[in-house]
Amino acid sequence: MAESPEPDFPQVTVTRGFPSGCMGNHSVIFVVNLLSLFFGNRDGARLLESEISCVDSYGGRLLPILGLIFGGGHNVLVLERQPDPALTDFFKSLGLKLPEIEILSRAEFLDLGQRLENDVSSHTLLERLRSQPATTIDGYVTDETIARLAAMIGKHTLSTPEGSHRGNNKLLLHQHLERIGLPVFPTRLAKDASEIPAALRDFNEAGHAAAVVKSQIGATGIGLVKLATTDPSPEIPGGFFHEGPCMVQAWLQPGEHGIESVLSPSVQIFLHDDTACLYDLTEQILEDSIHQGNESPPAYLDEMDGLQSELFRQAGESATWLYQQGYRGAGSVDFLVTRHADGSFNTYVCEINARVTGATYPSVLARHFLPEGAWRMRNFELSVPLSGDSLLDMLRAHGELFDPGLRTGILPINFNLDRDGLVLKGQFLAIAPELPECRRLLDIGRHDLPIAWNYTHDR
23-55 pLDDT, tens per residue?
878 899 999 998 899 998 888 888 888 777 788
pLDDT of residue 70: 92
Average pLDDT over residues 88-112: 93
pLDDT of residue 137: 96
User: Residues 80, 107: contact at Cβ < 8 Å?
Assistant: no
Q: In angstroms, rounded to a whole number, what is the distance separating the alpha carbons of residues 245 and 322?
A: 21
Q: In angstroms, rounded to a whole number, what is the distance separating the alpha carbons of residues 4 and 227?
A: 31
User: Residues 321, 333: contact at Cβ < 8 Å?
Assistant: no
**Which ranges in the chain are annotated with CATH 3.30.470.20?**
259-353
**Which ranges in the chain are annotated with CATH 3.30.1490?**
186-249
**Which ranges in the chain are annotated with CATH 3.30.70?**
369-455
Class of domain 186-249: alpha beta
pLDDT of residue 459: 58
pLDDT of residue 314: 96
Q: In angstroms, rounded to a whole number, what is the distance separating the alpha carbons of residues 227 and 424?
A: 33
pLDDT of residue 164: 97
CB within 8 A of 424, min separation 6: which ones?
53, 54, 381, 382, 385, 416, 417, 418
Average pLDDT over residues 382-407: 93
- Please check the confidence at residue 262 and state whether its pLDDT lies above 90: yes
pLDDT of residue 312: 95
Q: In angstroms, rounded to a whole number, what is the distance separating the alpha carbons of residues 276 and 23?
A: 11
CB within 8 A of 89, min separation 6: which ones?
none
Average pLDDT, the chain: 91
Q: What angle do CA 309, 307, 272 make, to 5 degrees?
A: 40
User: Of 343, 349, 351, 276, which Cα lies nearest the Cα of 310?
Assistant: 349
Candidates 3.30.70, 3.30.40, 1.10.12, 1.10.287; correct CATH number of 369-455?
3.30.70
- Please check the confidence at residue 5 and state whether its pLDDT lies above 50: no
Fold of 259-353: D-amino Acid Aminotransferase; Chain A, domain 1 (3.30.470)
pLDDT tens for 197-255 read 999 999 999 999 999 999 999 988 889 999 999 999 999 987 999 999 999 999 999 99
Which of 21-25, 141-145, 184-188, 401-405 has the weakest average pLDDT? 21-25
Taking the CA of residue 250 as centre, how many other CA atoms within 13 Å lie in the half-sphere pointing to its CB?
19
